[in-house]
Each structure stands twice: as structure tokens, then as C-alpha cells.
Structure 1
Amino acid sequence: MTASGTIRAGLPAVVRDQRPAAAGTLPRGSRPATRHLPTRLRPADLLRIADQGAADILDGRYDALLPSRWDRTTRSATRLERRDDLELWLVSWVDDGRSELHDHAGSLGALTVMSGSLREYHWTGDDLRVRVLGAGDQAAFPIGWVHDLMRDPQPAGTGPGPAPTLTVQAYSPPLTAQSYYEVTEHGTLRRTRTELKELPE
């Protein structure tokens, strides 16, 4: 083996093979950019954690943390767990309790709807797309996801003060900041402010 062959043999495969990759493919031995996220957890992990959190609530594991009565006029959040790389919340959504169009800064997120239904307006890059998540539905939010969440309005005639929509929400790393946005008259997204956060939205 030549000297250059010896040197090349000691390099990682991604460095050894410098031939250009075909369009749309990754070089041999490389991984998608998700390995550079600020957490070891992935959206699929957070979906599983949120779902398990909902099951644990139903099993009574968090009874000591939950309110004896839900406030039907103000959105509220109860932290269920917090670790270095994860936090888990139970959020109560009420009418007129919009979260505003926002991101989660450097955190990934996921939620499970426990009861009621939630309406999400998600920025697609061109406009806002709406979807409704009902009890048992889940959604994940990668870094860069911009959305607004609100309790799905009740049908007319259901009476005042309906029970809140409840969601279990997991974030990794734990939320520390969120940026807020507005859609401009040109159909683009404009950041209006960034805030340090104690509670999820």
C-alpha cells in the first residue's frame, strides 16, 4: 500500500470518498443533518413521550399536580416533568385562548390531544394552513415550525363555559424562548418579537 493509501485508509468514509453525490442523495457514510439538533430526542420520541404522559395522567400518576377544577376562562399550563433535555406539560385550552403565531426557538415539540379539539394554523412558507386535532390525535413540531394554536370553537348552541381542551405537550430541549410572527400584506412572514418563556404555547 502506498503512503497516500495508508493515510486515506485511516480517514472516515465520508472524507475518503470525495466523489460528488447524485442529486438528492447523501454522500456514502453520511447522515441527515438532524444529527446536529440540540437534543438526542427526535419528533417520534416526543410523540411517544406525550402519548405516555397522557396515559400516565389517566392512570393518576400526576393527580397531585392537577387542579381540582379547570378554569374555563383562562388558558393554563401545569409542568408534569422537567429534565435537562425534556419537559412535559399539561395545557388547558379555553375559548379565546389563542397562542399567537409563534415558533419554539431551538426546541422540538410534540403534543397529544387528551380531550376536546385543537385548531392549528401552520405557516407553510406561502400561507397559513389549518388542521383540527381531536382527542387522541398527535402532532410534532420540528425546529422552525411556525404555528398558532387555539381551542377548536364549539358548535353553536352548546352553551357557555364548555370544558377546556386538554393537551399533553413535550419539548426538547425545554422551552426557553419563542419568537412571534405576523403575516404581511405581501404574504410573507415577519418576526415581531422574541420572548424568554416560562410556559408553553
Structure 2
Amino acid sequence: MPPPGSAPSGEPAAPAPTPAQLLDFVRRTAADAELIASLPLDPEGRTWVRLEGPSGSEAWLIGWPPGTGTGWHDHAESVGAFTTARGELTENSLAVRLPSEGWRTLELAADVDHRRALPNGRGRAFGTHHVHEVLNESTTEHAVSVHAYYPPLPLIRRFSRTGTVLRLEQVEQPEDWQ
């Protein structure tokens, strides 16, 4: 067994990537026109390909048909970043940290909503427990984005939202999306 702080080979473990480093990675990856063009696009549903992320992070290339989105969700204890590589995405997010467990329904304050347009080449990084939804609001154009998370996603919590009421609907494990 390797000593604490070492990789299995006995080499020192690489430090965990920061959200800023993940953002740099997704921006550089989104600039790879050949990679972006290689993603198969489906007119009906999102498509995705897993990528090798930096320092043990999990990364994805995702295609978004017109009018599709993720629904409200978070990435649990993972930090992350994403960048639009083609088209434009919209991110709606909540400026509030949700309790990690012990609730099913929360009433949100009126001033916690943020909306951000992310055109081609624009991205953002985020910390743990970031609650958001990502949408391709175009009615005619596909969008493509690059995402990275560290540590690799332990789970995703999915929420429904009606006005100011947020309700936990489902907890997905990695085997549900890999």
C-alpha cells in the first residue's frame, strides 16, 4: 500500500485541480475544432463522450439539440467548470448553498436566481453544491460544450422547481450515466 499522499505507483499524487484549472482545461478543449466536430449529434436527445480530464478529473463533451436542457441539479462535493464550444447555452443557477441531506422541499428566497448566457467560447467554474440548470434555448441550432469535475462525480442530485419551491426528486449514482 502506498504511503498517504502518494499515487499507487509510489509517486506523489498530483494535487487536485482547482475550479480555475478545470476552466482552463475546458476552454482549451473547446478550442479543439476537430474534437468538437467529432461528436455525433442526435436531433432528439443529448449526446456525450467521456474525455480524459486533468489530474484525475472527469470530463465530458456534450451535444445539445435545440430546446434541450439538464433540469435543476447539483454535482454534490465536486467542483467543476464548463465552456460552450459551439452555439450558445444558458445557465440558470441559485446563489445559495443547499443542505447536503435531511430535506425534500425547500422554499427559496426571491433574490437567489442568476441567469447567464454562455455563447461560443464562454464558460464558468463553480464550487461544490452548485445548483443549476443548463439549457440550449435555440429552436434551430445544436450547441456543444465541454465539462470537467473533480473529484469525479460521486452523485448528481436532481430537483424540480415550481416558483420559489425546490424539491429533491432523485439522486443518481455514476452507474446511471456512465
TM-score range relative to shorter protein: 0.7 to 0.9
Q: 1:110 aligns with which of 78, 81, 97?
A: 81
Q: How far did 1:183 drift?
A: 3.3
SS of the residue 1:102 aligns to:
strand
Distance 2:122 2:27 in 1: 9
Distance 1:163 1:100 in 2: 19
Give, as a single letter, the amino acid of the residue that structure 1 aligns with 2:95: T
Rg larger for:
1
Give, as a single letter, the amino acid of the residue that structure 2 aligns with 1:104: H
Q: 1:143 aligns with which of 128, 137, 158?
A: 128
Contact 1:74 1:94 survives alignment (8 Å): yes
Contact 1:98 1:149 survives alignment (8 Å): yes
TM-score by length of 1: 0.65
1:167 partnered with 2:148: no
1:48 partnered with 2:33: no
Corresponding residue for residue 158 of structure 2:
180
Q: How far did 1:82 drift?
A: 5.1
Contact 1:132 1:152 survives alignment (8 Å): no
Give, as a single letter, the amino acid of the residue that structure 1 aligns with 2:94: W
1:191 partnered with 2:163: no
Q: Which runs of 5+ in 1 are unaligned?
A: 1-38, 155-161
Deviation per CA, 1:134-167, whole angstroms, max 9, x where unpaired? Answer: 011111121011001110224xxxxxxx341010
Structure that is richer in strand per residue: 2
Question: How many percent of aligned residue pairs carry the same amino acid?
Answer: 30
Contact 1:76 1:91 survives alignment (8 Å): yes
Give, as a single letter, the amino acid of the residue that structure 1 aligns with 2:82: L
Whose relative contact order is higher, 1 or 2, with alpha carbons under 8 Å and at least 6 apart?
2
Distance 2:124 2:55 in 1: 23
Q: Which runs of 5+ in 2 are unaligned?
A: 1-14, 97-108
Distance 2:133 2:153 in 1: 16
Structure 1 ranges of 4+ moved more than 6 A: none
Give, as a single letter, the amino acid of the residue that structure 2 aligns with 1:112: T
Give, as a single letter, the amino acid of the residue that structure 2 aligns with 1:135: N
Q: How far did 1:90 drift?
A: 0.7
Q: RMSD value over aligned CA atoms?
A: 2.5
Q: Residue 114 and residue 131 in structure 1: after superposition, are their counterparts in 2 closer, same or farther (change >3 A)?
A: same
Contact 2:26 2:83 survives alignment (8 Å): yes
1:98 partnered with 2:69: yes
Corresponding residue for residue 80 of structure 1:
51
Corresponding residue for residue 3 of structure 2:
none
Say how many residue pairs are matched: 149
Contact 1:122 1:147 survives alignment (8 Å): yes
Contact 2:16 2:55 survives alignment (8 Å): no
